[in-house]
Structure 1
Amino acid sequence: MQPTDPLSSLDIAAAEGVGPTGHGASLDALLRASVAIASGADPAAATAHFTPWLAAQVAADADAGRFALWGESTVIDEHSGTAVVGRPLFDLLHELAGVRAVWPVGNAGLLHVYGYLFSEEKTPFGYKRERWMGGGVAAALDLPSEHFSPWTVHGTETLLQRVTDAALPRLGAEPGHAGPAASVDEWDAAVLARTRVVVAADGSAALVYGVRWPDSGAPMRLVTIFPVEAASAEWLRALGSGPPRLRYNVAVAGREPGAALRHTRFAVR
């Protein structure tokens, strides 16, 4: 008996006509791809079948050099201790982008933006894709609710381009200027990690996190951005009260995940 192909054995309708034009159809196609990959289907076949926009967007980002604007991240979630993106999908994304990576550490833009769309691992905060599909990050940045949907049409802009353009400038903003409600810098001689919390007029909030290497003269690189459910004054103060360390699954060469740093500076407006 021939081995069963998970892509065909699942009760999944053909994806012809299911493209980046309709919200429901595109979400359905994305979820079908995600389930197929989690069930053992070849990610290249599943994404080509259900979400053909993925390879095109990743290629456009690679051509534009956007992945260099992001740091590195581990796929092992610091809360669940499990991989939120499987090895086959991890390898496919980095192959499509032409980015070298050694499991479980890869490019944070590839993993947190594109990889999370297909993650079936439910964390204590829900599915990773919800930051893009649920509109929480968009609301905090005063953007339309579907701004970060992968099929939202913005001319030739990719999802990673929209996320980078919206998030990266926030890492250079100080509290009271350009919107951040709180700022935490944590560093030692080798690395600076920066957290910015942005709160919109309606109370929607998002946390942006990035790193840079002080001695290199290189600019800040994005690591992650995610919605914050309730950025109360108490929560904001607690954000800067713990000992300084690496956070949010960032990967820094020569350091363990969550490794301690030496200094911290906190401000809240």
Structure 2
Amino acid sequence: MRIRLIMGKTCGEEAPAAPLPFGGETPQSPSLAIFPPFPARVDKSEPCASDEAMLLPLPSLTRRLNAMAEEPGFGAEALRAELQRSHPAMLNQILEDAECPERFAAWGKSSNLERDADRELVHPALLCALCGLAGLEPPHNSVTNAGLLHTYGYLLSNRRTPFGFKRERWTQPVLETGLNLRPGLLLPVPRSGTLLGNVTALCQAVWKPGSADEPSNLTADGSPLLRSGATLIEQPETSSVRLLTRLIPFANPKTRTARAALFHAWEKGENLQFITVFPVAPAALEKLKAQFQNGPSLVKPRFNSAIPGLGPEGDPGQRIVAPATPP
């Protein structure tokens, strides 16, 4: 199926399958530095949420919905009614995405449990209602569609983590600015398209460059999308699945809170599934870069992902680093 992701395009057109990244070859150990140099200067001005994002009553909306989720009988219809009353633009996005199930099909599964803590990131009843509204199966053992969870689920999460609220990746234009994306592309209510559709388009362009589905209107000035970055490939011995983590340095470092974008996915044969994308703070970036090394390793699911055939305890395997290539 051809994935049409930006508003104004038709869902569900047939197209040839696009080539997957890395093919079946094993990248060789790079002889040069695997990370391109990061800009030396960082603007001290903190990026503020765009006007559109600041107008959204997300904090009050999430508090209200989380309180409603505690009531018996809360479900998709109650969520629909409340969003219709208090945030119809978000409701319209979810309903539009429900009409294009291939957007959700591009994503793998993710756990709703906070890493290293046995508590949910999104209220279970609220997440179940979101799944119903989007036409998806309810979560099973806290595992659900990663695309839904990481977009609308995180927007409606009221859980503060050690890294802040999960919704901040969408309410602050850090990814847009750092990757030179079209302004308003990744807002809670984008200026065109839907949040899930636009995030899926971005992941499609990063992991499947040159495919027939790649949109041409992602960047602010029509320039090629920044997608070059070192990629960590993790291959467990007991499975043919491969975990893919790419770090793309920001070209426009107008924030002191993030220096790169992280994209995570997994592939098995010709099946490629997106898991997440988020900006990476400098301290976390250094820890991640230290893991980009070739050699044997215990391969575990990353970033709350639920990987078929790979349990949370992990399996012995190999790490392979594919160096950054010229854009």
- Distance in 2 between residues matched to 1:89 and 1:130, nearest whole Å: 19
| Contact 2:66/2:126 (8 A) holds in 1 | no
Instruction: Mark the CA change 1:35 to 1:197 in structure 2 (over 3 Å): closer, same or farther.
Output: same
2:264 is the counterpart of 1:212: no
Which residue is equivalent to 1:90? 127
Q: CA deviation digits over 1:109-140, x for unaligned, max 9?
A: 11001100011111111100011111122223
- Distance in 2 between residues matched to 1:80 and 1:250, nearest whole Å: 15
SS across alignment from 1:106: strand
Q: CA deviation digits over 1:35-74, x for unaligned, max 9?
A: 1122235461432322222332122222222100100101
Q: CA deviation digits over 1:176-203, x for unaligned, max 9?
A: x953332101123331111011112234
- Distance in 2 between residues matched to 1:138 and 1:158, nearest whole Å: 15
SS across alignment from 1:207: strand
Pairing partner for 1:24 from 51, 54, 76: 54
- Distance in 2 between residues matched to 1:261 and 1:184, nearest whole Å: 16
Instruction: Mark the CA change 1:168 to 1:232 in structure 2 (over 3 Å): closer, same or farther.
Output: same
2:62 is the counterpart of 1:34: yes
2:155 is the counterpart of 1:124: no
Alignment of 1:70-109 (within 5 A): 70-101=107-138, 102-109=140-147
| TM-score in terms of structure 2 length | 0.66
Question: Gaps (5+ residues) in structure 1?
Answer: 1-20
Which residue is equivalent to 2:252? 202
Q: CA deviation digits over 1:82-105, x for unaligned, max 9?
A: 210111111111111211132401
- Distance in 2 between residues matched to 1:244 and 1:91, nearest whole Å: 30
Instruction: Mark the CA change 1:231 to 1:140 in structure 2 (over 3 Å): closer, same or farther.
Output: farther
2:273 is the counterpart of 1:221: yes
Instruction: Mark the CA change 1:170 to 1:131 in structure 2 (over 3 Å): closer, same or farther.
Output: same
- Distance in 2 between residues matched to 1:87 and 1:127, nearest whole Å: 17
Question: Gaps (5+ residues) in structure 2?
Answer: 1-50, 210-224, 254-258
Residues paired across the two proteins, number: 239
Which residue is equivalent to 2:194? 158
2:106 is the counterpart of 1:56: no
Which residue is equivalent to 2:181? 143
Which residue is equivalent to 1:18? none
Q: Which moved more, 1:235-244 or 1:66-75?
A: 235-244
| TM-score in terms of structure 1 length | 0.79
Which residue is equivalent to 2:204? 168
Which residue is equivalent to 2:232? 184
- Distance in 1 between residues matched to 2:316 and 2:123, nearest whole Å: 30
SS across alignment from 1:83: coil
Greater relative contact order structure (CA < 8 Å, 6+ sep): 2
The amino acid of 1:213's aligned partner reads K
- Distance in 1 between residues matched to 2:174 and 2:287, nearest whole Å: 18
SS across alignment from 2:234: strand
The amino acid of 1:228's aligned partner reads V
The amino acid of 2:282's aligned partner reads A
Instruction: Mark the CA change 1:149 to 1:178 in structure 2 (over 3 Å): closer, same or farther.
Output: closer
Q: Going by fraction, where is helix more abundant, 1 or 2? A: 1
| Contact 1:186/1:265 (8 A) holds in 2 | yes
The amino acid of 2:318's aligned partner reads H
Instruction: Mark the CA change 1:236 to 1:121 in structure 2 (over 3 Å): closer, same or farther.
Output: closer
Cα displacement (A) at 1:268: 4.1
Instruction: Mark the CA change 1:115 to 1:193 in structure 2 (over 3 Å): closer, same or farther.
Output: same
Which residue is equivalent to 2:299? 244
Instruction: Mark the CA change 1:114 to 1:236 in structure 2 (over 3 Å): closer, same or farther.
Output: same
The amino acid of 1:57's aligned partner reads Q
Identity fraction in percent: 30
Backbone CA RMSD of aligned residues: 2.6
Instruction: Mark the CA change 1:245 to 1:34 in structure 2 (over 3 Å): closer, same or farther.
Output: same
SS across alignment from 1:96: helix
- Distance in 2 between residues matched to 1:236 and 1:180, nearest whole Å: 17
Cα displacement (A) at 1:22: 4.7
